[in-house]
Copies of this chain bind each other. A is one copy, B any other.
Amino acid sequence: MRVALDAMGGDLAPGPIVAGAREAVLEAHDLTVVLVGDQERIEAEFARLGDSPRDRLPIVHTSQWIGMEEKPVEALRKKRDNSISRCWSLMAAGDVSAVVSAGNTGAMVASALFNAKMFLPGVRRPGIAAFYPSHRGPVVIIDVGANMNAKPEDLYQYGIMGAIYAEEILGATEPKIGLLNVGAEDDKGTELTRNTRDLFLSSPWASRYLGNVEGRDLHDGNARVVVCDGFVGNVLLKSGEGAVEFLFATLKQELARLAADIPREALEKAGAALHRLKARFEYEEFGGAPLLGIKGACIICHGSSGSRAIKNALRVAGTMASDRLSARIAEHLQDAPRATE
Contacts and interface: CB of A to CB of B under 8 A. Distances in A.
A269 B267 CA distance: 13
A339 interface: no
Given A261-B269, A263-B262, A280-B250, A185 B69 contact: yes
A179 B229 CA distance: 18
A298 to B, nearest CB: 19
Contact of A277 (B217, B241, B254, B269): B254
Contact of A217 (B71, B180, B242, B247): B242
Interface string A239-250: 111111111011
A236 interface: yes
A162 interface: no
Contacts of A245: 216, 219
Interface string A133-166: 1110000000001001100000000000000000
A232 B257 CA distance: 36
A151 to B, nearest CB: 14
This chain: copies in complex: 2
Nearest to A274: B254
Interface in A144-201: 145, 148-149, 180, 182-185, 187, 189-190
A28 interface: no
A238 B265 CA distance: 37
Contacts of A231: 182, 189-190, 232
A228 B239 CA distance: 14
A interface, over-half SS: helix
Nearest to A145: B182
A258 interface: yes
A26 interface: no
A273 B247 contact: no
B270 A258 contact: yes
Interface residues of A, number: 60
Contacts of A190: 148-149, 231
A251 interface: yes
Interface of A: 69, 71, 106, 133-135, 145, 148-149, 180, 182-185, 187, 189-190, 214-219, 228, 230-232, 234-247, 249-251, 254-255, 257-258, 261-263, 265-266, 269-270, 273-274, 276-277, 280
A239 B242 CA distance: 12
A241 B236 CA distance: 12
Contacts of A228: 235
Contacts of A216: 238-239, 241-242, 245
A291 to B, nearest CB: 16
A187 B263 CA distance: 53
Contacts of A242: 215-219
Contacts of A280: 250
B263 A269 contact: no
23 contacts: A69-B184, A69-B185, A135-B246, A135-B249, A148-B190, A214-B235, A215-B237, A216-B241, A217-B242, A219-B245, A235-B235, A235-B236, A239-B239, A243-B243, A250-B277, A251-B277, A254-B270, A254-B273, A254-B274, A254-B277, A255-B270, A261-B266, A262-B263
A247 B189 CA distance: 27
A219 B236 contact: no
